[in-house]
Amino acid sequence: MVYEYVLAGVLVSLLGSVFFVIINTTLSENKRDVAIVSENGVCLAPEIEKSTDVVIVGAGVAGAALAYTLGKEGRRVHVIERDLSEPDRIVGELLQPGGYLKLIELGLEDLFGYALYKNGNDTKLSYPLETYSFAGRSFHNGRFIQKMRERAATLPNVKLEQGTVTTLIEEKGTIKGVMYKKKAGEEMRTYAPLTIVCDGCFSNLRRSISTPNIENPSCFVGLILDNCELPHANHGHVILGDPSPILFYPISSTEVRCLVDVPGTKVPSVANGEMANYLKTVVAPQVPRQLLKAFLAAVDKGIIRTMQNKSMPAAPQPTPGAILLGDAFNMRHPLTGGGMTVALSDIVLLRDLLRPLSDFNDAPALCDYLKSFYTLRKPVPFTRCFVHRLTPQDRKCVKHALTI
C-alpha cells in the first residue's frame, strides 16, 4: 500500500537506520582492559604528569569515549565523574549504524531493520546490508558505559576520578578548570587549558556556557521482558499505538526492553497502581500477541521505570577554555535513537579539529578555531521531519516525539 511506503519513508528518515542486536563484544574483555577502582572511587591507572591538557566533566558514553580518544592522541586527560558505579538507565541502549561506524573509527569496537505494527497489521522494513556491510547495536547501557570507562582507564595519560563538579573556574572570561568535591567531601580544583563538559541531560554546568531551550515532550515508561522472542528476529519493533509509540528491542540474550512513550510531563502513578492499570488497559491491547504474555508478566512483576524525555537544540555560546558535548549540549527525543550517534560523531569531528594543535594554551585563539565545530557538526544532528506526509492519526502518534 502507498500508506505503508510513506510511513516507511518517514520512519527511515526519523529513526536513522536500525535498532540493534546485543553488543557485549563491542569492547575487549581482556583482563588488561579492566579498570581497578579504589575505595575512594579513583580508577587506578598509571600516574600521569601533573599538568593536564583537557579536563572532561562526566564519564558517560560521550565523556568516556572522548577521554579514550584524546588519550590515544597523546593528550593528558583528567576525567571527573560523579558516580563510577555501573549506571542503571532505561535509555541510551540503541546505537545506529552510523554511530557504530564512529565507534569503530574511534577504536572502540545485528538488528537488520524495523518491524512496524499498526491496528493489528505488521510489515517488516529491512535494510540493504548487501550494500552496506554494517548494522547497529543494542545493549545494556550500564555495561556498555563501564566497558568504555575501563578502556579509557588503561591509558597511562588518562586519570579517571570520582567526584562531583560544582562549578567552572573562570578568570577574565576564560574557563581555567573546575572545582569539584571528592567522595569524602574534600573540595578540589583541577586546571587545564581546555574543559569539556559532558555531564549529561541534567547538566548543572551548561547554562554557564550555553543558552539552552529545553522541551519535555513526553515520558518513557520502561519494562524488561524476560525470556521471550521478538516476532521478527534481529529487528527493533515499533508499534504505532494510541496515543503514542511503543518500542521493543533486545538488550541481552534473554531480555527485551519495552519503552512506552507517554505524552506530556506526567505519567500515571506507579506507587498506587495507576501505571500498572494504564499498561494493562491502554497499552497491552496494542502489544503483538507473541509478546503479550511476557509484557503482562513484566507489569505484574512491578519493576516499572519512568524517565522524562527531553529535546534541546544546540545553542552554543563560544567560551574561551570550554566546550559542551553530548546530552549537555544537544538532545533529541530518544525515540529517534540518535543521541549516541550524534555524540560519537561530534567526538570524531572534535578529535580531527584538535589533532593539528600542539597545545591548547591560547584560549581565545582556540575558541575562535573551534567555532568551525558548530558548523561542521550540523548535518548529523539535523533530523528532517516529514510529519506533513502522515495521516492526522499518525501525526498525533509521533509528532510530539520529533526534533527538527
Sheet with 21-22, strands from edge to edge, namely: 21-22, 137-138, 94-95
Q: In the prediction, which pLDDT does 31 show?
A: 32
Q: Name the strands in the sheet holding 194-197, side by side, starting at the edge strand that comes first in the sequence.
A: 187-191, 174-182, 158-171, 77-81, 54-57, 194-197, 322-324
Residue-range domain boundaries for the chain: 54-93+140-214+312-382, 112-136+215-311
Q: What is d(CA 382, CA 338) in angstroms, rounded to the nearest whole number?
A: 10
DSSP letter, residue 93: -
**C-alpha to C-alpha distances, 105 to 65, 98, 100, 231, 347, nearest whole angstrom:** 11, 11, 9, 33, 10
Full DSSP string of 324-384: E-GGGT-B--GGG--HHHHHHHHHHHHHHHHTT-S----HHHHHHHHHHHHHHTTTTT---
Q: Which amino acid is at 27?
A: L
pLDDT of residue 140: 57
Helix (H, G, I), strand (E, B) or coil at 152: helix
Does residue 196 contact residue 66 with C-beta atoms inside 8 Å? yes
CA dihedral 340, 341, 344, 348 (to 10 degrees): -170
With CA atoms as reference, report the closest residue to 13 among 338, 384, 404, 387: 384
Compute CA 260 distance to the chain's CA centroid, rounded to the nearest angstrom. Answer: 18
d(CA 35, CA 12): 39
pLDDT at residue 50, rounded to an integer: 53
Task: Please tell me the class of the 54-93+140-214+312-382 domain.
Answer: alpha beta
Nearest to 384 by CA among 314, 325, 336: 336
**C-alpha distance from residue 302 to each of 1, 169, 197, 246 (Å):** 40, 45, 36, 18
> Which superfamily does CATH assign the domain made up of 112-136+215-311 to?
D-Amino Acid Oxidase, subunit A, domain 2 (3.30.9.10)
Task: Check residue 28 and give its pLDDT.
Answer: 33
Low-confidence ranges of the chain (pLDDT < 70): 1-50, 90-104, 106, 108-141, 335-338, 381-404
Backbone φ, ψ for residue 52 (5° rounding): -125, 140
Residue 114 near residue 11 (C-beta atoms within 8 A): yes
Residue 330 has a pLDDT of: 87
